[in-house]
Amino acid sequence: MPERDAADIPTDDPRPKELQRAASLVLVNTGPGKGKTSAAMGVVMRAVARDWPVGVVQFLKSGTWRTGEEKVCRQLGVDWWAEGEGFTWDSEDLTVDEAVAAGAWDRARSLIHAGNHRLVVLDEVTYPINWGWIDIDDAVRTIQERPEQVSIICTGRNAPQALIDVADTVSEIGEAKHAYKAGIRAKKGIDF
């Protein structure tokens, strides 16, 4: 075991002096690294363990994808909507993709406003926002005007500043190395 300098061991409490409870939080998982959705699913597991009703709306993955997280979440009672059309580079008609994303946003907005889910995950929502398929002002307003008990997690690369500004916690997930760049395909059980 390496020898440690006593100066490296934290002894001061790093928490703010006046901590307060919040009825709900907004989290944004963004950045170029792998794990944004995986981190959101970890929070989903915590919420389910606390008997919270949870809803997930996926903006890129379609209902034909069979991901591990969807399978287990459905078994645990999570309401799940995979409403995307897949990767845009595979699209035969981007106008269809745009309409599907708009429909997914309509569902997400309704879920948030209804207030029946204590946690709503908007998986990969940053992409259609950045492409102009979902109005950022509408998204921010919906998040700000959510019922007080509804927490929201937004995932995806390049989160727009307006989404970052409305969030309570923003995690920038970096990439030091990725198997895909070495020519290794996504792996069931690890990546989906």
86: confidence class by pLDDT, cuts 50, 70, 90: low
Percent of the chain at pLDDT exceeding 70:
92
pTM comes to 0.88
161: confidence class by pLDDT, cuts 50, 70, 90: very high
pLDDT of 137 over the 90 cut = yes
Q: Determine which of 84-93, 99-108, 110-119, 155-164 has the lowest per-residue pLDDT on average.
A: 84-93
Secondary structure (DSSP) of the chain: -----GGGS--S--S-SS----S--EEEEESSSS-HHHHHHHHHHHHHHTT--EEEEESS--TT---HHHHHHHHTT-EEEE-----GGG-S-HHHHHHHHHHHHHHHHHHHHH---SEEEEETTHHHHHTTSS-HHHHHHHHHTS-TT-EEEEE-SS--HHHHHH-SEEEE---S--GGGGTPPP-TTTT-
107: confidence class by pLDDT, cuts 50, 70, 90: very high
Identify the pLDDT of residue 36: 97
What domains are defined for the chain? Answer: 23-172 (3.40.50.300)
